């Protein structure tokens, strides 16, 4: 088996967080790849939802966006945005929201709207359904590149709420459980139950604690004993490389 890529470790870690029988609103890219890896292995009863209203799809080839018809293949439902947001998220039946991010801060607040670098303001696509997902899903998993600028003390723009200001979700008036995991190309982070700040859970093989701390823009809680992130199995790698993303559309880089 050839060298394991960081993206493969990331999606395997994300897949392992998903449970059989769950309903998941999933974003395009690595979240999508992780979701279909889970469904092909330990979670055959997983129900993925796309915010545009597609449910329980089995993508053909590797779709490159929500409007790519290959992502609709064998879906059991194709309704609309309001159905996923209203009949699923707002009704409280979505177990997990699996998202990408431009920035995530120490309290799991997500920015997908704009960046401020060197005095330059750059706008991106905005939240789409991200705010609904972050506000209402029972838990939220974020997958992203591990860079200091992408993990600031406070996000440049609050697109989707986590534990805003370190406050409990109920105090914020948010029904969803909030941030659960941040999975990067260096580590897996969770959130402290008392102060709601990001805490290191595991380091990927070959990654040092010093590297992670140097590339994290906020104070990261570190346990006395640090676990090592499990590598994808040979079968998981086969599925990723031969069936789920054989052209490395998403596994070829870190979004």
Q: Which positions are catalytic? A: 51
- Dist CA 106 CA 26 (whole Å): 22
Q: How far is CA 5 from CA 12, 172, 238, in A?
A: 11, 39, 13
- Dist CA 69 CA 84 (whole Å): 18
- Residue 37 has a CB neighbour count (10 Å cut-off) of 26
- Dist CA 132 CA 114 (whole Å): 18
Q: Which alpha helices (H) appear in the chain, and where do they start and end?
A: 6-17, 30-40, 81-82, 130-136, 169-172, 209-214, 234-238
The C-alpha R_g of the chain, in whole angstroms, comes to 17
Residue 25 bridge partners (DSSP): 49, 97
Pairing of strands 47-49, 23-26: parallel
Supply φ then ψ for residue 190, to 5 degrees.
Answer: -120, -155
Q: Which two tokens stand for residue 223?
A: 């346990």
Number of H helices, E strands in the chain: 7, 14
């Amino acid at each position: 088996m050839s060298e394991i890529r960081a993206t493969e470790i990331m999606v395997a870690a994300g897949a392992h967080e998903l449970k059989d029988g769950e309903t998941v609103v999933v974003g395009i890219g690595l979240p999508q790849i992780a979701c279909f890896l889970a469904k092909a292995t330990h979670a055959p009863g997983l129900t993925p939802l796309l915010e545009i209203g597609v449910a329980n799809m089995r993508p053909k080839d590797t779709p490159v966006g929500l409007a790519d018809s290959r992502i609709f293949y064998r879906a059991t439902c194709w309704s609309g945005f309001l159905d996923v947001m209203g009949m699923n998220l707002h009704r409280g039946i979505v177990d997990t929201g699996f998202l990408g991010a431009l920035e995530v801060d120490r309290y799991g607040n997500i920015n997908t709207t704009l960046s401020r670098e060197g005095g330059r303001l750059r706008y991106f696509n905005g939240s789409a359904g991200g705010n609904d997902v972050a506000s209402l899903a029972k838990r939220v998993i974020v997958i992203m590149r591990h860079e200091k600028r992408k993990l600031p003390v406070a996000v440049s723009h609050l697109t989707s709420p986590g534990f805003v200001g370190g406050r409990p979700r109920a105090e914020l008036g948010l029904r969803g459980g909030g941030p659960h995991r941040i999975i990067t190309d260096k580590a897996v982070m969770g959130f402290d139950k008392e102060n709601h700040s990001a805490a290191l859970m595991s380091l990927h093989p070959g990654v040092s604690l010093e590297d992670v701390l140097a590339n994290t823009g906020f104070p990261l809680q570190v346990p006395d004993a640090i676990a090592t992130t499990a590598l994808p199995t040979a079968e998981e790698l086969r599925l990723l490389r031969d069936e789920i993303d054989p052209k490395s559309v998403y596994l070829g880089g870190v979004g």
